[in-house]
Amino acid sequence: MAAARKKDSSKTTSMEEFEAKYQEITSLYDYAEELVSTVESDFASDPAKQLEIVEPLINDMSDATDELAKQLLFIAETRKYKTPSKVNKVHIEASLRKIFAALNDYHARVRDNTKKAHGAIMNIADVIVKKITQQVEQIVMIFLEFVHISLHNIMDKPALEALKVRDPRIVALMMHQQAMQQQQ
């Protein structure tokens, strides 16, 4: 009986961990809401221009978040019920790549508007975008725990190198994945 309780509690803990990871992924929706609020902010001198800057990021991030959340649910389901995996590595990589590309495009739009504004240093959404970048990096770590994804397929080399510097766990996970792949 005690062994059964112990086994059940480990399953509960595992599902709680998946729920926490799911919350980390879906927190991108909260950041999308924060980006929308920059358009409505008193600090936005031109709300239409601000919307033009942030809307593509909001849309791409929301679409990708939908897919990433779905894929994490597939992973949790596979682990919980020990069923064949419905996880699609290609969809995970494509969704992460979509977010990183949207972030790069956002920065390009800000740079273009900065040139036109003759010296405006940053956009009011930059602080939120920095948080989004950090959160997406955490989401990458989540998926690296479960699926062999190629970081070279989802981000450009400078972003990957910066991530390696900011989070040494990424190097360890990449080495672990390579070792596992060589064993197969």
State the average pLDDT over residues 31-53.
Answer: 92
pLDDT level of residue 18 (50, 70, 90 thresholds): very high
Give the orientation angle of helix 2-40 with respect to helix 126-146, to 10 degrees: 150
CA 119, 124, 126 angle in degrees (round to 5)?
90
- Residue 8's pLDDT is 41
Main-chain phi, psi angles of 150, to 5 degrees:
-95, 115
pLDDT at residue 1 in the model: 42
pLDDT in tens, 169-182: 887 877 777 787 78
Amino acid letter for position 114: T
Mean pLDDT of the chain: 87
pLDDT in tens, 75-121: 999 888 888 888 999 999 999 999 999 999 999 999 988 777 655 55
Q: Is residue 165 classed as helix, strand or coil in its secondary structure?
A: helix
CB 16 within 8 A of CB 4: no
Cβ neighbors of 142 (< 8 A, separation 6 or more) are 21, 24, 25, 72
Number of neighbouring beta carbons within 10 Å of residue 39: 20
Could you tell me the residue ranges of all domains in the chain?
10-136
